[in-house]
Structure 1
Amino acid sequence: MKAAVYYENGPPTVLKYEDVPDPECPDDGIVIQVEAVSIEGGDTLNRLGGELATTPHIVGYQAAGTILETGSNVKDLKVGQRVTTVNMYGSHAEKRAVFAATAWPVPDGLDIRQAAAIPVPFGTAHDCLFEFGHLKRGETVLVQAGAGAVGLAAIQLAKREGATVIATASSQEKLDRLKEFGLDHGINYREQDLVAEVMKLTDNRGVDLVVDPVGGSTLQKSIDVLGYRGRISMVGRAGREPMTVDVQSMMAGNRSLTGVFLGAEIFSPRVRENIQSLIDDAAKGELKVVLDKEFKLSEAAEAHAYIEGRSAFGRVIMIP
């Protein structure tokens, strides 16, 4: 099979399009014919500096397609079924093997490209808001990087719960587009003072919850906009900066900071059921999956470079 591989960490140019052996099917897993790859932020970070679990290494969390083979212990999935899958690596290929526990059936009528982009962003956003963020109806949430896949999911889920939603983005154009997904107030972080704008919007009360997939210096601003008993769900380091923050101010306001990693509980019944519910909601049109641009798998280097240019609105997809 063909795959986008690399032999050492580095910039997008380390990715090469080569022939590699087909994956073997585990007893508790499946092999799929990949029809769409959703490039995650973690994929670019792993390519840049993560562990190479195989040589050559095939990076990638998410991909969707059709089951080619099932393991001897798999009872609830079958050959020919459409699924969307998650694994720690291996998505950037024509075929991939995953555990059956991290493969979700795709309902009829849902575009396989959209299905590929649901589990990690929507599952992560849901955990940030509810499992760890304890968001309640009527509260105010700030979503950092609202035009990213996690941000777009968080805006929709928070609005559906009845929250007031504030989000940041790098341009007014992106903020205007976010309004159709439930955004109440937008802040252009390149031109506006984030803390001052949030305090103005909340009558100096601050927000109840921040979803922060950026980290770095942005995390300090997330802390600074918290109201009394405010919470932060910190879920990434897209900014690629050191995590140096002053947490002293959190004590006086009984504020809290929680790190969120969907992968830590990806095999749990709670997460499995929640992701399937989110997929079903998308199939019914109750949630929107935003796809920004499509590349060929052979163009993986260009796709990664495009993502790192930070102009994407939603997910970038590759088609083998």
Structure 2
Amino acid sequence: MARVVEFTRYGEPEVLQFKEIPPPVPGPNEVRIRVKAIGLNRAESMWRKGAYVEEVRLPARLGYESSGIVEAVGESVTHVAVGDAVSTVPSFSLNDYGMYGDQVLAPAHAVVKKHESLSFAEAVAVWNPYITPYGAMIEPGLLSASDVVLIPAASSSVGLGTIQLVNMMGATSIALTRTSAKREQLLAAGAQHVIATEEQDLVAEVMRITDNKGATLAFDPVGGSTLAKLISALAPGGHIFLYGALSEEPTELPILDMIAKKPNIHGYNLFGTTTDATLQKAAVEFIHAGLASGKLKPLIEKTFAFDDIVEAHRYLEKSQHLGRIVVTVD
């Protein structure tokens, strides 16, 4: 029997339950994976609470990123074969597939061969952290060596991935974190500058770092009251990408700064890249090149056993981690 995780009602991590099901049989364009590791994403916490961008159909599965060994393939699957080590790219609805399990089905378009330099645990700390900023800033050609990038929630896995991508492109990374507790860790992780937003004047610090020019890009998963400060810290015509809603505060716009600076504010998610075969291929090739060069190195904060999935979600929601939380499956 396969062992998977589901929930039948919204709520705290305790709603997650294990369920035994017959090993799933892949249909056309599907792959069955014997899972070795699962990477946790904040979106899955929101999904569990019924607070995601898509309505949840209960009972529900969850999980975007897994790695493991291909056990079976459906009709028309040719790019991977039984025995291949693979990982999954977030490119599907959680209403259709869920990667929390020891044997799972994944759509073939989401399955890619694991980079040889990565362990199974590292392979689930790659796609969301790197493709998310790649699709926003590198794919459209917005990020160059002359840019200065503000990175709120910099200690998250996507925040750390953004720091590495910005550095890889030769641009300037400014990590934003609430307090100075993680300052040294963020500097060690590659951030060129760190601003503790509850202890320092965000706008003044950005202007000091940029000689009063302002930042050119901001990659924000938070929203709330900080958004107005990000706009104030931008150079005229700068870009802000909103890809999350971690703040529970109202998000207000500073009208005078909007008029004066004419910022470009984008709502964004990575699915525009990952659900397009051509764009996904380019993203994977770019990230694999970064991994091969050593300029991209996935960071893992903590690992949990599969049996401890509830505790892993509790840890995720403390928001104290620096890097990816990984669940290993025996």
**Class of the TM-score when normalised by the shorter of the 2 chains:** over 0.9
Q: For 2:160, what is the secondary structure of its paired residue? A: helix
Q: For 1:125, what is the secondary structure of its paired residue? A: helix
Q: Any conservation in 1 of the 2:40–2:326 contact (CA below 8 Å)? A: yes
Distance in 2 of aligned mates of 1:169 and 1:133: 27
Distance in 2 of aligned mates of 1:190 and 1:22: 50
Tell me the CA shift for residue 248 of structure 1.
Answer: 5.2
- The yes-or-no answer on 1:214 pairing with 2:217 is no
- The yes-or-no answer on 1:84 pairing with 2:87 is yes
1:163 matched to which residue of 2? 171
Q: For 2:216, what is the secondary structure of its paired residue? A: strand
The alignment of Structure 1 onto Structure 2 pairs a total of residues equal to 319
Tell me the CA shift for residue 44 of structure 1.
Answer: 0.7
For 1:75, the aligned partner's letter is T
Distance in 2 of aligned mates of 1:46 and 1:155: 26
Percent identity between matched residues is 30
Distance in 1 of aligned mates of 2:122 and 2:248: 27
Which of 103, 106, 112 in structure 2 is aligned with 1:95? 103
Q: Any conservation in 2 of the 1:212–1:234 contact (CA below 8 Å)? A: yes
Q: Any conservation in 2 of the 1:3–1:297 contact (CA below 8 Å)? A: no
1:53 matched to which residue of 2? 57
Return closer, same or farther for 1:203/1:107 CA change in 2, 3 Å cut-off.
Answer: closer
1:255 matched to which residue of 2? 263
* Higher mean C-alpha displacement, 67-76 vs 211-220: 211-220
Q: Any conservation in 2 of the 1:127–1:262 contact (CA below 8 Å)? A: yes
For 1:303, the aligned partner's letter is A
Q: Any conservation in 2 of the 1:125–1:154 contact (CA below 8 Å)? A: yes
For 1:8, the aligned partner's letter is R
1:279 matched to which residue of 2? 288
For 2:180, the aligned partner's letter is Q
Tell me the CA shift for residue 6 of structure 1.
Answer: 0.9
| TM-score for the superposition, normalised by structure 2 | 0.90
Tell me the CA shift for residue 224 of structure 1.
Answer: 1.8
Q: Any conservation in 2 of the 1:132–1:260 contact (CA below 8 Å)? A: no
Q: Any conservation in 2 of the 1:26–1:97 contact (CA below 8 Å)? A: no
Distance in 1 of aligned mates of 2:104 and 2:57: 15
Tell me the CA shift for residue 132 of structure 1.
Answer: 4.9
The two structures, once aligned, show a CA RMSD in angstroms of 1.9
For 2:224, the aligned partner's letter is G
Q: Any conservation in 2 of the 1:250–1:256 contact (CA below 8 Å)? A: no
Q: For 1:91, what is the secondary structure of its paired residue? A: coil
1:239 matched to which residue of 2? 247
How do 1:89-168 residues align onto structure 2 when only pairs under 5 Å count? 89=94, 90-132=98-140, 134-168=142-176
Q: For 1:295, what is the secondary structure of its paired residue? A: strand
Return closer, same or farther for 1:132/1:247 CA change in 2, 3 Å cut-off.
Answer: farther
Q: Deviations over 1:91-131 (max 9, x none)?
A: 11112211211111112231111111211221001123223
Distance in 2 of aligned mates of 1:159 and 1:314: 17
For 1:319, the aligned partner's letter is T
2:27 matched to which residue of 1? 26
Tell me the CA shift for residue 283 of structure 1.
Answer: 4.7
5+ unaligned residues in a row in structure 1: which ranges? Answer: none
Q: For 2:117, what is the secondary structure of its paired residue? A: coil
Q: For 1:159, what is the secondary structure of its paired residue? A: helix
Q: Any conservation in 1 of the 2:30–2:106 contact (CA below 8 Å)? A: yes
Tell me the CA shift for residue 219 of structure 1.
Answer: 2.1
Which of 287, 291, 314 in structure 2 is aligned with 1:305? 314
For 1:17, the aligned partner's letter is F
Q: For 2:49, what is the secondary structure of its paired residue? A: helix
Distance in 2 of aligned mates of 1:76 and 1:34: 19
Q: Any conservation in 1 of the 2:135–2:273 contact (CA below 8 Å)? A: no
Q: For 1:231, what is the secondary structure of its paired residue? A: strand
Distance in 1 of aligned mates of 2:134 and 2:293: 18
Tell me the CA shift for residue 231 of structure 1.
Answer: 0.8
Return closer, same or farther for 1:69/1:43 CA change in 2, 3 Å cut-off.
Answer: same
1:264 matched to which residue of 2? 272
Could you list the structure 1 runs, at least 4 aligned residues long, displaced by more than 6 angstroms after superposition.
none
5+ unaligned residues in a row in structure 2: which ranges? Answer: none
Which of 71, 74, 77 in structure 1 is aligned with 2:77? 74
Return closer, same or farther for 1:72/1:312 CA change in 2, 3 Å cut-off.
Answer: same
Tell me the CA shift for residue 75 of structure 1.
Answer: 1.1
For 1:82, the aligned partner's letter is A
Distance in 2 of aligned mates of 1:104 and 1:304: 26
For 1:156, the aligned partner's letter is Q
1:295 matched to which residue of 2? 304
